[in-house]
Amino acid sequence: MASEKVDNERRAMRWGLTCDKGECQERVNKNGKEVFEVCKFKPTINQVEENTQDSPSCHYYMQKYDALVSKHSLWNYHAFFTIMKFNKKLFEEYLDRKITVFDEAHKIEDQIIQFVGFDIFSGQIDECNLNSEKYDFTDLDSMIQLTDDMAFSYAKKIKDIKESAAFQNNPDYELITGLERRHDRSTQAKIDIMSDKDNFIVNNPVKDLNGNFRIISVKPIDVSKFANSFFETEYQIFMSATIDKSSFCENMGLRQDDVAFVDTQKSPFPIENRSIELLNIRRLSYGSTEEDELEVIKTIDRIMDEHSDERGLILTSSIPRCQKIIRYLSHKNTQRIRICHSKNKDGKTQDEVISEHATDPTGVLLSSSLWEGVDLKDDLSRFQIIAKVPYPNYTEKRTRAKMDKFPLWYTSQTLTKILQGFGRSIRSEDDWAKTYVLDTAVNNVFFKGQQMIPKAYYDVLGMDNV
Ligand code: SF4
């Protein structure tokens, strides 16, 4: 926690000089004894509530506590779910609200999954004096054994410290609390998994550049039985333009009878502003031929020529596909392209690439990650090309397992992403953009997922309104 002033925020992030993963405490030696000391910038929630905090106080905690003590507050999912998972008891009186509104509700599963199951870091294994080579990081039983050994080791550490003369003379409760928390998490992880072993899957371990083990995570396939602990107010409102009632309820563990569903009959945006052409060029999949791929890229070229004086967006399913598109486009259209991902090779952020795009009157963004959460309003994009249907990554173990268990989930994930993609360039009533879909596989997704398509899309997809 040594402080350092760095003017360049991005460099600070790259150097890891941030507080975001810290526990806001450090071990210090006082009178020959190791104790934990809390960061001197950290205010208490009572100070913030009474406006008596020191100045300067930590910006992060000021924001967080301000939100907790306010009548209404706006949170990002990660910050809110962190509290719901780990600090619910601590902030109980501040969480007693009547309604929670969850925006972009189609993304909730991705958020919850980060909080259930568990991650074990190599540092924890070292702290417990365990040998990571003793465990099989592909096997669930071996991971259960690891959580068990960790819990045992933490319990022994706690017992030894409590019985020590040093502790009897001068108890260090912060140290004990930290160990107890890690003990409880290991124990809880084992209980969660043992309660429903078939529901958990061991992901591939993350290793460092030298091949040393860094992190292993064990995640549930079905999050529904954990979801309700994140939704505890009397009423919840889930908002999204792309969810359907039955798959959402199944996924979130909600009883359909407890849920009122509002499916807006008609989009508030005029149909002529959001036209969609399903061009059915070729079906793209692992089995497609080179000719199929090139035919799709040729069509992208043609559409870009037709929109030669406008900005646009091309969406596809993976980074290699982006690279292939850029390799085979005509020279003049390649000059218009900016590849944009959440992390980019040249270190630019997504926002920086989009800002550059805004200054290029005929720029076209090419991405496998801008399917959602990006706002290309007005002439930031007047045409969008969906080159390939964005199926979830089938090579991930959890995706495969979830698909086997819930076949419709795979379709609903794909459909949601396509529908989200449709909305990237039409952001208001007066905004307009033309959408072209090139991959024939989209018909199959619409057919399999027809019950899940919200009514507001029926007109542009030529479906009968019911
Ligand atoms: S209290 Fe704030 S400044 Fe201090 S370590 Fe935590 S996040 Fe950083």
For residue range 320-378, list pLDDT tens digits in order: 999 999 999 999 999 999 999 877 877 888 999 999 999 999 999 999 999 998 999 99
Residue 178 in contact with residue 124, Cβ under 8 Å? no
How does DSSP classify residue 197?
A: G
Cα(101) to ligand 1 centroid in Å equals 29
Percent of residues, the chain, with pLDDT higher than 90:
60
Tokens representing 370? 């801008």
pLDDT at 73: 96
Cα(381) to ligand 1 centroid in Å equals 40
In this structure, the residue with its CA closest to atom 5 of ligand 1 is 24
Statement: residue 438 has pLDDT above 90: yes
pLDDT at 466: 44
- Min mean pLDDT across 29-33, 224-228, 296-300, 442-446 is at 29-33
Mean pLDDT of the chain: 89
Is CATH 3.40.50.300 what the domain over 271-457 is classified as, yes or no?
Answer: yes
Instruction: Classify 460 as helix, strand or coil.
Output: coil
Ligand 1 shell residues, CB under 6 Å: 1, 19, 22, 24, 39, 41-42, 58, 60-61
Bridge partners, residue 120, by sequence: 216
Statement: residue 3 has pLDDT above 50: no
- Determine the Cα angle at 123 with ends 117 and 129, to 5°: 105
Domain ranges of the chain: 23-73, 118-220, 271-457
For residue range 253-275, list pLDDT tens digits in order: 999 999 999 999 999 999 999 99
Cβ within 8 Å of residue 124, ≥6 positions away: 150, 182
pLDDT at 25: 72
